[in-house]
């Protein structure tokens, strides 16, 4: 079987840069994942910045183009990763679809607004082009095991640095993935104008979301409380910690949370390869994507509802289906 030819549009950190110093290790970028996966061949990068193009060419020994049209014409890619700022993504995806790309892998947020994302999703569905959104935790084995442990009925607490568009969007998507859906957002108050938010699911799950000041520390911590114990995804999602129920050491007949146990596996390291595998399975065997355009659209709708709830001080229903 011939490899699927791939190009990466946007050669910044997630497009290429995270792997510039990671030779011999599992990839963290789109370019690295395409170069490492046996089903794909990295053909080129595209970026308007000459220095970004130079670094791409040195690292991957593949050409980097200044203009998308030339890369599409010369490489004829089956897969196009779109790692540019959100404002540019809709036009790039549309151009790649018109050029014959068989699948798109887009960074999040999918578009600058939910309305623009809805048009993009509709375009890809109309043209029959699978659109995958890079909520990479959905491609990660550790997070998938955690989903089984946590279940769909829980109370959770998410604390993250950065912004609603960055780590906040990952938190919204993770809640929706585990809970099954989101029905409403309730407002609160937070630091730097970012809201403390409560999300609710139709099946009874709920979670609070805090943006926390953390200096130069990147933070993404998720605590889930269930009738089976407490489960924590820590260190951006690299570690899964379990506190399962056990007999209390002091009080007879009382069950409490026992000592924490850390999962032996490390999360996120194989996630980007999982994203390539999801694309390949979709094209080769017509399997559903693990995270598609409708998931990206739902995350934007949650973000917009969060901002509306903070602005109005009212509960905002959310339609994410």
267-307 confidence digits (pLDDT tens): 999 999 999 999 999 999 999 999 999 999 999 999 999 88
Domain boundary, last residue among 129, 145, 172: 129
Count structural domains, the chain: 2
Same domain (yes/no): 98, 147: no
Q: Which domain holds residue 116?
A: 4-129
pLDDT at 211 (0 to 100): 86
Section 11-24 average pLDDT: 92
Average pLDDT of the chain? 93
Q: Does residue 276 lie within any of the structural domains?
A: no
Average pLDDT over residues 54-69: 97
For residues 175 and 264, state if they share a domain.
Answer: yes
Tokens of 31: 């370019």
Residue 82 sits in a domain of what CATH number?
A: 3.40.50.720
Joined tokens for residue 161: 């640095």
Q: Are residues 173 and 304 in the same domain?
A: yes
Asked if residue 121 is part of any domain, the answer here is yes
Structure confidence at residue 190 (pLDDT): 52
Q: What is the tens place of the pLDDT at every residue in 179-198?
A: 999 999 888 655 554 546 88
Residue 189 lies in a domain: yes
Encoding tokens for residue 301?
């709708």
- Same domain for 108 and 14: yes
* One domain, residues 49 and 170: no
73 class by beta-carbon count within 10 Å (0-12 exposed, 13-18 middle, 19+ buried): exposed
Residues 181 and 307 both lie in one domain? yes
- Domain endpoint, select from 129, 163, 181: 129
Please identify, among 79, 105, 129, the residue that sits at the C-terminal boundary of a domain.
Answer: 129
36-40, 87-91, 196-200, 288-292: lowest mean pLDDT where? Answer: 196-200
From residue 232, give the alpha-carbon distance in Å to each of 17, 158, 182, 295: 29, 10, 21, 23
Tell me how far apart the alpha carbons of residues 7 and 61 are, in angstroms, rounded to a whole number: 13
Question: What pLDDT, on the 0 to 100 scale, is given for residue 196?
Answer: 67
Which residues are registered as beta bridge partners of 283?
none
For residue 234, the model assigns a pLDDT of 96
Same domain, 187 and 87: no
CA distance linking residue 131 with residue 104, whole number of Å: 5
Report if residue 105 sits inside a domain.
yes
* 262 in the same domain as 205: yes
Query: Are residues 154 and 27 both part of a single domain?
Result: no
* pTM metric for this prediction: 0.93
């Amino acid at each position: 079987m011939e490899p699927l030819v791939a190009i990466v549009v946007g050669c910044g950190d997630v497009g290429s840069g995270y792997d510039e110093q990671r030779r011999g290790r599992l990839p963290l970028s789109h370019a690295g994942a395409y170069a490492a996966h046996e089903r794909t061949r990295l053909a080129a990068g595209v970026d308007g910045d000459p220095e970004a193009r130079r670094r791409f060419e040195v690292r991957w020994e593949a050409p980097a183009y200044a203009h998308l049209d030339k890369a599409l014409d010369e490489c004829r890619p089956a897969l196009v990763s779109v790692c540019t700022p959100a404002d540019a993504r809709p036009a790039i995806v549309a151009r790649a679809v018109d050029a014959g790309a068989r699948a798109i892998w887009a960074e999040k947020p999918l578009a600058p607004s939910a309305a623009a994302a809805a048009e993009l999703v509709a375009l890809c569905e109309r043209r029959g082009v699978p659109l995958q959104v890079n909520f990479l935790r959905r491609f990660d084995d550790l997070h998938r095991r955690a989903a089984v442990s946590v279940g769909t009925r829980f109370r959770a607490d998410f604390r993250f640095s950065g912004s609603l568009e960055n780590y906040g969007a990952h938190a919204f998507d993770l809640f929706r993935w585990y809970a099954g859906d989101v029905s409403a957002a309730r407002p609160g108050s937070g630091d730097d104008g970012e809201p403390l938010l409560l999300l609710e699911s139709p099946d009874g799950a709920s979670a609070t979301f805090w943006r926390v000041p953390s200096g130069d520390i990147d933070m993404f911590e998720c605590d889930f409380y269930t009738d089976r114990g407490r489960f924590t995804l820590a260190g951006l999602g690299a570690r899964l910690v379990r506190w399962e129920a056990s007999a209390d050491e002091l009080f007879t007949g009382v069950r409490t949370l026992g000592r924490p146990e850390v999962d032996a596996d490390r999360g996120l390291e194989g996630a980007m390869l999982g994203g390539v595998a999801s694309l390949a399975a979709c094209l080769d065997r017509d399997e559903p994507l693990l995270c598609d355009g409708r998931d990206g659209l739902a995350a934007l709708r949650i973000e917009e509802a969060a901002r509306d709830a903070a602005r109005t001080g009212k509960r905002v229903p959310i339609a994410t289906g």
